[in-house]
Structure 1
Amino acid sequence: MEGIVNFAVIGAGRIGRRHATMVVKNEYSKLVALTDIDTSVHEELRQEFGVPVYTTHQEMFKNHPEIHVVNVCSPNGEHAKQSIDALDANFHVVCEKPMALTKQDAEEVLFRALKRNKLVFCVMQNRYSPPAQWLKSVVDDGILGEIYMVQINCYWNRDDDYYKGGDPNYWKGKLASDGGTLFTQFSHFIDTMFWLFGDIKNINAKFYDFNHQKTTEFEDSGIIHFDFVKQGAGSINYSTAVWNNNLESSITIIGQKGSIKVGGQYMNEVEVCNIEGYEMPKLEETLPANDYGKYKGSAANHHFVIDNVVETLKGRNFVSTNSLEGLKVVEIIENIYRLKS
């Protein structure tokens, strides 16, 4: 593709605005239009971004055939349907996590992309952090030798305000529109696990709802054990019931030749690197977490996502997180949640 890459964004909440901002900042991309169902924010969005704002994505598609890429930043339960609509309109798609809430829906997105010869970029921006890039090289190069055990701990705070007190009209906390804690809060870390070690089998899990009975339709905590298909055993311990502040997002790897722990609140700090005959390199600084006021999320790496889209469409790179990888993350979470019934 030559020239400027034209983007449009569906859903102009916090994440949608971040996408729009990153598009505006990229010298090879242009923001064409925005969509948000909340008409009360339309004028504010027009003033901030200087583009038309629509209530429906269908209207936006009709009025802007010059679009090349549609960024789907709406509630989780809308991702698959809106991605399919964009693909059927002959646009590439950038889909915020998760790609879908079921493997079946993710497969339909993948099918439509192949049918239309379009690309789907799944947003897993944690892959771009320096510790994640370093971990990938260590694992892929076999520096740890055989992998014995992997443990992921994700302990965050999500209070009543996050779910707007269980407001029946708010999408977060609702099973159909949110999907659950693993989809909304921790899919980034399941993606990191899959990216590093591949698929899992022999899953066992227990789920708990400690302090979100009035605000969500699903668990706030879980303990999961499994085997990796390739080698080694793993576990995921997670909770959004932590008091006051996020506590930790970490991965500990025990291998034949050494051990690694990457921790911090957002899997952003190398805490342990103890490997036979290996000297830890100096890594670049990790970008701060996305700051949403009362709570924080994963690393603010969305500019890397937009850069990757532009560079891929110009034939200078490849998709950093493709639709098959996005599907596999959905499948892993679905397989874990299947144990609830």
Structure 2
Amino acid sequence: MANKLRLGIVGVGNIFKASHVLPLQAHPEVEIVAVCDINLERAEQIAAEYGIESAYADYRELLKRDDIDVIDICTSNYFHSEVAIAALKAGKHVFCEKPDAINPEEAQKMADAAQASGKVLMTMRNNRFTPASSYLKRYIDEGHMGEVYTGRCGWVRRRGIPGKGGWFTTKELSGGGSLIDLGVHFIDLAVWLMGNPKPVAVSGATYTKFANNEISNSVHSRFGEKKEGGTFDVEDLAIGFIRFENGASLQIEFSWASNIQEDANFVELRGTKAGCNLRKGELQIFSETAGQLTNITPILKKDAPPGHTEHLKHFIEVVQKRAEPINLPEHGVDMIKILSTIYKSAETGREVVL
């Protein structure tokens, strides 16, 4: 077995507790040795709960430790780039929760810092690691769908605003609302499945209609910390259209709240040989065989680990030099460019060239 990686966590809120700490503690090549949070009391509570030796309030103090190999960033969006760049400059490998950054300039600085340091920088793309996504990627790469030329993707909720009044709904800290929170997941998945074509233009519209609505029916509302009377200056719904250099296109829709029948996430792609619908983790493929239209439902593993767990495992494999990275910093730069330009299009009311 390779040497154990000593890991420090920055940010110990809900996403850390829900999706990071247990997979990392269970990994035989990882030892979490320190946690950091601007709320020192919370960091100390987490350290005691999970048997972690050190707790800090300032990530700069954590980065001074020569015995830490990896930093895992689970802070609010605004601090992703700041902490990542500092950690890379300190010689640490970095895993970061999504989104990569709150604007393209910061995402590019992260990519540049990773290249200069020679360390691994990877941002969470958990939806690439589900059984359905892995199967579909191979199916497309083997040519079974032909030319994948258009599609649509989204994640829509009926009432599922996270951390209302807190950092999620404060643009300065989050970079935006449902688009940057949810769009990064399924735009990334769709673009990856399509072969990572370069985006060249976008158009979009954003809406804020549920800032004063207190109803919630989604477990996702538990993320973040609600703040009574807090800020809500982001969108709760975004729609848009992306054009790519190779002529392909993608429709998008992301909402925290809207009057729909039920919550859903989906990626639909259309190819010259087949199309697909990946919805709520279930995959169907639509094609034709022997002169007849056919619907294919692959038999996939039902008990696979969550995508967050699988991506963290992949990151460790890359750091240990046993695997090539499935996602690269430049993918993150392109993603944040797409999101930022959709916001610009929504403000100007016209298509914007990247």
1:135 maps to a residue whose letter is L
Residues in 1 aligned to 2:84 and 2:320: alpha-carbon distance in whole angstroms: 21
Kept after mapping to 2: 8 A contact 1:80/1:109: yes
Q: Please give the secondary structure, in 1, of the residue aligned with 2:337.
A: helix
The 5 Å alignment of 1:56-67 reads: 56-62=58-64, 64-67=65-68
Residues in 2 aligned to 1:158 and 1:29: alpha-carbon distance in whole angstroms: 38
Question: Is 1:4 paired with 2:10?
Answer: no
Question: Is 1:171 paired with 2:167?
Answer: yes
Identity rate, percent: 25
Q: Please give the secondary structure, in 2, of the residue aligned with 1:34.
A: strand
Residues in 1 aligned to 2:159 and 2:80: alpha-carbon distance in whole angstroms: 22
2:288 maps to a residue whose letter is E
Question: Is 1:13 paired with 2:5?
Answer: no
Q: Please give the secondary structure, in 1, of the residue aligned with 2:171.
A: coil
The normalised TM-score by structure 1 is 0.87
Change (3 A) 1:246 1:6: farther
CA-CA distance at 1:125 after TM superposition:
0.8
2:126 maps to a residue whose letter is Q
Q: Please give the secondary structure, in 1, of the residue aligned with 2:172.
A: coil
Identify unmatched segments of 5+ residues in structure 2. Answer: 214-230, 348-354
CA-CA distance at 1:308 after TM superposition:
1.4
CA-CA distance at 1:142 after TM superposition:
2.1
The 5 Å alignment of 1:1-341 reads: 2-17=2-17, 18-51=19-52, 52-62=54-64, 64-159=65-160, 162-164=162-164, 166=165, 170-180=166-176, 181-197=178-194, 198-212=197-211, 216-242=232-258, 247-264=263-280, 268-270=281-283, 272-277=284-289, 280-285=297-302, 300-341=306-347
Q: Please give the secondary structure, in 2, of the residue aligned with 1:185.
A: helix
Residues in 2 aligned to 1:94 and 1:321: alpha-carbon distance in whole angstroms: 12
CA-CA distance at 1:114 after TM superposition:
1.3
Residues in 1 aligned to 2:119 and 2:202: alpha-carbon distance in whole angstroms: 34
Structure 2 partner of 1:291? none
Residues in 2 aligned to 1:86 and 1:142: alpha-carbon distance in whole angstroms: 40
Change (3 A) 1:245 1:84: farther
Q: 1:161-201: CA deviations, max 9, x gaps?
A: x334x2xxx31101111112211122111111221222333
Residues in 1 aligned to 2:87 and 2:68: alpha-carbon distance in whole angstroms: 10
1:72 maps to a residue whose letter is I
Structure 2 partner of 1:293? none
Change (3 A) 1:80 1:25: same
Instruction: Count matched residues.
Output: 320
Residues in 2 aligned to 1:220 and 1:155: alpha-carbon distance in whole angstroms: 10
CA-CA distance at 1:244 after TM superposition:
9.8
CA-CA distance at 1:307 after TM superposition:
1.4
Over the aligned positions, Cα root-mean-square deviation in angstroms equals 2.3
Change (3 A) 1:244 1:223: closer
Residues in 2 aligned to 1:103 and 1:178: alpha-carbon distance in whole angstroms: 14
Q: Please give the secondary structure, in 2, of the residue aligned with 1:252.
A: strand
Change (3 A) 1:203 1:45: same
Residues in 2 aligned to 1:115 and 1:280: alpha-carbon distance in whole angstroms: 45
CA-CA distance at 1:42 after TM superposition:
3.2
Q: Please give the secondary structure, in 2, of the residue aligned with 1:210.
A: coil
Change (3 A) 1:244 1:336: closer
CA-CA distance at 1:313 after TM superposition:
2.0
Change (3 A) 1:112 1:219: same
The normalised TM-score by structure 2 is 0.84
Tell me which moved more, 305-314 or 123-132: 305-314
Q: Please give the secondary structure, in 2, of the residue aligned with 1:250.
A: strand
Q: Which runs of 4+ in 1 moved over 4 A?
A: 157-160, 243-246
1:58 maps to a residue whose letter is R
Change (3 A) 1:244 1:251: closer
